[in-house]
Structure 1
C-alpha cells in the first residue's frame, strides 16, 4: 500500500497544465537559461554600442591628426623660409648686421624707458 501512495505523490508534483515539470526541475533550468540569454543580449548590445562609439572617436582623432600634420608641414615651411632669410642676412656684410642689432637694441631700450616712465 505504501508503494501505491508513493506513486500518487510523484504525480501530484508534476504540473501538466503549464507544461513545467516541477519534479525534474526542467523548467527552473530553462527559465534560468532564458534569463542568462537576456543578460547576454544586453551585454552584447552594450558592447556593440561601445565599439561604435570607439570607432567614431577614432575617426575624429584621425581627422584631427591629419589636420595637425598639415599645420606642422606649413609651419615647417614658414620656419625653413625664416631660417633661409637669417642665413642670407648673416652672409651679408658684418656692418649691416651690426647696424640692425644696434637699431633693435635702441628700439627695445626706448620702449622699456617709455613703459617705465608711464608707470
Structure 2
C-alpha cells in the first residue's frame, strides 16, 4: 500500500483527516476496496474449489469401499473353491481332477488359437 505523498498540500493545522489530504485518502481507500474485492473473489474461488475436492474425495471413498467389499466377496469365493479342490485332490477322485485339468487346458488352447487367428 502506498502512503508516500498523501499529506502533501494540506495546510498546516488542518488535521481533520489525520493529516491526509482528501484526494489521497479516498484514492487509498478506493484501492483498498478494490484489493479487498479481489481478495474476496479469490477466497470464494478457493472455497468452491475445496468444496468440490471434498465431494470428489467422498465419491472416491465410496467407490473404494465398494471395491473393497467386492474383493472380500471374491476372496471368499476363491477360498471356498480352493478348499473344494483340496478335498477333491485328497480323495480317490483323481480321475475327475485329471479330466478337469485336461478340460481347462483344452479351453485355454482354444482361446489361444482364436486369438492367434485374428
Task: Tell me if both proteins adopt one fold, taking TM over 0.5 as the criterion.
Answer: yes
Shift of 1:102: 7.4
Deviation at 1:65, TM superposition (A): 0.8
CA spacing shift, 1:98–1:54, aligned 2, 3 Å:
closer
Aligned residue pairs: how many?
Answer: 95
Report the RMSD for the aligned CA atoms in angstroms.
3.1
CA distance in 1, matches of 2:95, 2:66: 40
- In structure 2, the residue matched to 1:46 is 45
2:19 matches 1:21: no
Match of 1:32 in 2: 31
Structure 2 unaligned segments of length 5 or more: list them: 1-8, 12-20
Q: Distance in 2 between matches of 1:102 and 1:57?
A: 46
**Structure 1 runs of 4+ with >4 Å offset:** none
Distance 2:60 2:34 in 1: 39
Change (3 A) 1:98 1:53: closer
TM (norm. structure 1) is 0.64
Equivalent in the alignment of 1:108: 106
Q: Specify the structure having the higher radius of gyration (Cα).
A: 1
Aligned to 1:56: 55
Call closer, same or farther: CA 1:73–1:82 in 2, change over 3 Å: same
Whose relative contact order is higher, 1 or 2, with alpha carbons under 8 Å and at least 6 apart? 2
Is this contact kept in 2: 1:90–1:97, CA < 8 A? no
Output one character per residue of 1:9-49: Cα deviation in whole Å (capped at 9) or x when no partner.
Answer: 867xxxxxxxx713xx1112111100000001101110111
CA 1:21–1:102: 2 relative to 1, 3 Å = closer
TM-score (norm 2): 0.65
